């Protein structure tokens, strides 16, 4: 990949575990939730990079780190070659304007006491003090049109007067007004009804094309990854287990976890029968993850080395990476 717009290098985030008073007295050892534990990937400009995985795998924490909403425990995130964690003041503010987020729940991400105009205008009020009211109004109206809402109709409304789909459109408009280069979308359609979902997915794709946006799309739904992703990474317990172009990974998955995950995705077609890979147990706790390969307690192919040594991430084909001892 030539000049990725975003480069994530060995990123880690450990959250200290809060424990009871007595427990703290009895043991000196601090415990951590290893939400993200050393992940690296590159995102090409204008691409949709999907982070996929089950709940608790660290995908949302990764998103928040990339936007510097939380500080990392270790590692770097480079945006256009600049380490975002080293930025301060004006520089930081500029980078922040270029990276925006769309959250999962449009019922919680919009302030219920603000009118739609003010919600969409707020980023401009904060970051673009150079603009006049008329200029800002024009940008807000344009953004609302971009997300296929009728500005005249919605600007004076409150969020509760809008449906879930309309609210998510407002959230997208708010993310667009500062002309960002990168959009991080965290499960943007998982709270929406099926008939609304596709229109939001199509809208995101159209906006991406129109403004040549780069998107980091976080989802547990591999069908959505297939629908809009260019590249993807599958996460398990804070680690990337497999990564590559979407069609390559979904058609020829090599990691036993990816294989199991894909085989268990329900397909809206009752005539398709396929073999589901049964794997034992459930995802272990990220406080005390298994040694060696984190998937080994559930892996049907686990060998001695998997219990001992953590697998390194290897490129098995051009652009297709896997972290598994089977391929070493």
H-state helical runs in the chain: 21-26, 59-66, 89-98, 116-127, 133-146, 151-154, 164-176, 194-211, 222-228, 246-251, 256-264, 304-308
Report if residue 326 touches other proteins, rule: CB under 8 A.
no
Report if residue 266 touches other proteins, rule: CB under 8 A.
yes
Report if residue 320 touches other proteins, rule: CB under 8 A.
no
Report if residue 282 touches other proteins, rule: CB under 8 A.
yes
Report if residue 195 touches other proteins, rule: CB under 8 A.
yes
Report if residue 294 touches other proteins, rule: CB under 8 A.
no
Which CB, 276 or 307, lies closer to other proteins?
Answer: 276
Which CB, 86 or 288, lies closer to other proteins?
Answer: 288
Q: By CB under 8 A, how many residues form the interface with other proteins?
A: 40
* Rounded to 5°, angle at Cα 245 from 243 and 250: 80
Report if residue 269 touches other proteins, rule: CB under 8 A.
yes
Report if residue 170 touches other proteins, rule: CB under 8 A.
no
- Shortest distance, position 157 Cβ to other proteins, whole Å: 15
Cβ atoms of residues 237 and 284 within 8 Å: yes
When binding is defined by CB under 8 A, the residue of 177, 218, 260, 299 that contacts other proteins is 260
Report if residue 259 touches other proteins, rule: CB under 8 A.
no
Task: Give 65's contacts (C-beta < 8 A, 6+ positions apart).
Answer: 11, 13, 36, 72, 77
- Shortest distance, position 234 Cβ to other proteins, whole Å: 12
When binding is defined by CB under 8 A, the residue of 4, 58, 123, 165 that contacts other proteins is 165
Positions 219 through 258 that interact with other proteins (CB under 8 A): 220, 222-228, 250
In order of 144, 151, 199, the CA distances from 188 in angstroms are 17, 22, 12
Report if residue 27 touches other proteins, rule: CB under 8 A.
no
Cβ atoms of residues 235 and 53 within 8 Å: yes
Question: Which listed range, 41-49, 161-169, 173-181, 306-314, lies at the site for other proteins (CB under 8 A)?
Answer: 161-169
DSSP structure string for 11-70: EEEEEEPP--HHHHHH-----EEEEEEEEEEEE-TT-EEEEE--TTSSHHHHHHHHTTSS
In order of 27, 159, 288, the CA distances from 20 in angstroms are 11, 40, 18
- Binding residues vs other proteins (CB under 8 A): 54-55, 163, 165-166, 193-199, 201-202, 220, 222-228, 250, 260-262, 264-272, 276, 278-279, 282-283
């Amino acid at each position: 990949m030539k000049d990725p717009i975003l480069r994530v290098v060995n990123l880690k985030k450990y959250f200290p575990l809060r424990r009871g008073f007595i427990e703290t007295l009895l043991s000196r050892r601090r415990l951590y939730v290893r939400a993200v534990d050393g992940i690296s990937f590159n995102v090409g400009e204008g691409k949709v990079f999907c982070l996929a995985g089950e709940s608790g795998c660290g995908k949302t924490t990764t998103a928040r780190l990339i936007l510097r909403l939380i500080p990392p425990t270790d590692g770097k995130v480079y945006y256009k070659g600049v380490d975002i964690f080293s930025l301060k003041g004006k520089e930081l503010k500029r980078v922040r304007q270029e990276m925006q987020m769309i959250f999962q729940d449009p019922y919680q991400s919009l302030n219920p006491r603000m009118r739609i105009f003010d919600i969409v205008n707020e980023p401009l009020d904060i970051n673009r003090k150079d603009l006049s009211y008329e200029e800002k109004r024009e940008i807000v109206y344009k953004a609302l049109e971009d997300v296929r809402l009728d500005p005249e109709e919605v600007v004076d409304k409150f969020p509760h007067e809008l449906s879930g789909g309309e609210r998510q459109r407002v959230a997208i408009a708010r993310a667009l007004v500062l002309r960002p280069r990168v959009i991080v979308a965290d499960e943007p359609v998982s709270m929406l009804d099926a008939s609304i979902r596709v229109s939001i997915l199509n809208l995101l794709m159209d906006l991406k094309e129109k403004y040549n946006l780069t998107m980091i799309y976080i989802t547990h739904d591999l069908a959505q990854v297939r629908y809009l992703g260019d590249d993807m990474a599958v996460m398990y317990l804070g680690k990337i287990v497999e990564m590559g172009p979407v069609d390559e990974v979904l058609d020829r998955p090599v990691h036993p976890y990816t294989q199991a995950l894909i085989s268990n995705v329900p397909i809206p077609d009752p005539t398709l029968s396929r073999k589901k890979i049964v794997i034992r147990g459930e995802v272990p706790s990220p406080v005390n993850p298994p040694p060696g390969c984190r998937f080994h307690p559930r892996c049907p192919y686990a060998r001695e080395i998997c219990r001992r040594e953590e697998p390194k991430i290897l490129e098995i084909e051009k652009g297709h990476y896997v972290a598994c001892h089977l391929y070493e």
